[in-house]
Structures are given as C-alpha cells and as structure tokens.
Copies of this chain bind each other. A is one copy, B any other.
Amino acid sequence: MLYSEERKKKILSYIDQHGRASVQELGEAFAVSESTIRRDLSELENEKMLKRTHGGAISKQSVNFEPSVIEKADRLLIEKQAIARKAASFIQDNDTVLIDSGTTTLALIQEIKLKNSLTVVTNSVVHAELLKESNHIEVIVLGGRLRHETQALVGPLTDQGLNLIHVDKAFIGTNGVDLHDGLTTPNLTEAATKRKMIEQSSEVFLLADSSKFEKVSFANFGEIESLDYCITDEQVNEQYQIEFEQRGVKLEIVPLQED
C-alpha cells in the first residue's frame, strides 16, 4: 500500500512520461477510488506540477521546466530588472565581465544570457548555475568558501583566483552607499572580496537601487571615487546626483518599474 505522497509522486511521473492519463486509468493502476485520484490530481495541480483536464490530467512539461532557483529569482527580477537591463547595455560582445554575487546582479545574469560571446567571471554558485546552459558564454567561477547566508564564494581562495584575472567591467552589488562612509556590506570577508574585484577591473559599475543610499553597513569595501558608474533608480536623492558627478562617477538613473 502506497502513502498518498508516494502515489502522487508516481502519478506525476506517469503523466510526465505518458503526457497524459485518465482518472479511471490511474485509479485502476494504483488500486484506489476515483475520488482519491481526483483529490491527488487537484493537489498536484495546486502545486503546479501538472494540468488538470476533464477526465484526467496532462503533463506540464512544456511550460514547467525552469528550476525554482530561477522562479525565486524572478520575483526579485521584477524590481531589479530595470537596473540590470541598464547595466547590461554597457556590456559589449567579447567583453570580459566580473559579476558579483547578490540579488541585484542576479537580475543582470538573466539579461546577460541574451548576449552573444562573452566571458563572465562570478563568485556566486547561483549565478553560475543560471548560466550553465548558455553555451555561448564562457563562465569562470571564482573558487572559495561558500557563505551559506548569501551563497557567495569568499575568502583567500577567491582573492587568489581574482589575482589571476583582469576584466573589462565589474558589476558590483552593495548593501550601503553613503557619501561619507562609502560602500559597505555586512560581512568583512565579503567586503575584502568586493574590494579585490574593484581592483581587478578596468571599469567598475555599482548596481544599487535607491533604498541602498544613505545606508551604512559594517564593512567598507571602497570609496565612491573607486566607481566608474553607478546604476540606480529615479528615487535617488538629488544631492547624490550632484555629488557623484563631482567625484567623477557617472550616475545612470533608470525609471522605476510600474508593473
């Protein structure tokens, strides 16, 4: 006798394999009543694992296929995509770009997939995972210790990897941007990695939505002046706009997403 979870799993794989199945057919196959099968199917439909039809169900294969990593990311993308798209517009064919870990830069990864030939260096396993099927993109993962909190790779191994490379453009995320305290993030080791990233790039782009401004976190990883570009949204304080230009940082402002 199967537990309901086991049965549901088997129903799902049956439907994925055959493309479809009828309630009757499933009831016989698993020796349970049609009521039970109907309940199973509606639960599986709620979990978005298949599509219910009259008399049975069909596989969702064609729609369903992306991993949940991407799904989770997608929600954030809605907010951060405008900034990411702007950032992507600076990337040219055959560029070598360094992409920091974090949710804002994750949005950038989605944009980057659309590019042609490109070398992408990253210290995030999530970012790398998302690029794994983009055969036209050369992906270099910096080694390091996996920080479970942020899923970033950090530490001496990362820094040592960075020593070996130099990129055209680095896209860095941050927790705080402040005129006096510069660029800050909560973790000291991660800060050291970001600092090193800035060193190893010809041009440095900071991706920071307006909520990050006038925030100061624990560990500093650079001054405003170390940036070449800062990409943010239109709610950024006007004072920052003036000050950034004075300090030689190009401030790129994107309109907010309505949605």
Task: Choose from B5, B58, B139 the contact partner of A3 (Cβ within 8 Å).
Answer: B58
Cβ-based interface call for A125 (8 A): yes
Interface flags, A124-148, vs B, CB<8A=1, else 0: 0110110111110011111111101
Contacts A20-B6, A68-B65, A148-B135; A157 near B143 (Cβ below 8 A) = yes
Chain A residues 148-163 with CB under 8 Å of chain B are 148, 151, 153, 156-158, 160-161
Chain B residues positioned under 8 Å from A151 (CB to CB): 132
Q: Which residues of A contact B (CB under 8 A)?
A: 3-6, 9, 20, 47, 49, 51, 53-56, 58, 62-63, 65-69, 125-126, 128-129, 131-135, 138-146, 148, 151, 153, 156-158, 160-161, 164
- Which of B55, B66, B68, B131 touches A146 (beta carbons < 8 Å)? B131
Q: Which residue in B3, B51, B68, B144 is a CB contact (below 8 Å) of A55?
A: B3
Partner of A54, one of B3, B68, B134: B3
Residues from chain B with a CB closer than 8 A to the CB of A20 are: 3, 6
Contact B68 A66 (CB under 8 A): yes
Q: How long is the Cα–Cα vector from A215 to B129 in the complex, in angstroms?
A: 31
Contacts of A54 in B (CB 8 A): 3-4
What is the distance, in angstroms, from A28's C-beta to the closest C-beta of chain B? 17
A128 to chain B: which residues have CB within 8 Å? 125, 146
**Whole-angstrom distance from the CB of A3 to the nearest CB of chain B?**
4
On chain B, the residues within 8 Å of A161 by CB distance are: 143, 157, 160-161
A129 near B125: Cβ-Cβ < 8 Å: yes
CA distance A176 to B158 in the complex (A): 33
Q: Shortest beta-carbon distance, A43 to chain B, in Å?
A: 12
**Contact of B143 with A144 in the complex, beta carbons under 8 Å:** yes
Q: How far is the CB of A118 from chain B (nearest CB, A)?
A: 13
> How far does the alpha carbon of A121 sit from the alpha carbon of B146 in the complex, in Å?
10
Partner of A65 from the list B49, B65, B144, B148 (CB cut-off 8 Å) is: B49
Q: What would be 16 A-B contacts, judged by CB atoms less than 8 Å apart?
A: A3-B20, A3-B54, A5-B53, A9-B62, A9-B63, A47-B65, A49-B65, A67-B68, A132-B148, A132-B151, A134-B148, A138-B146, A140-B146, A141-B144, A141-B146, A156-B164
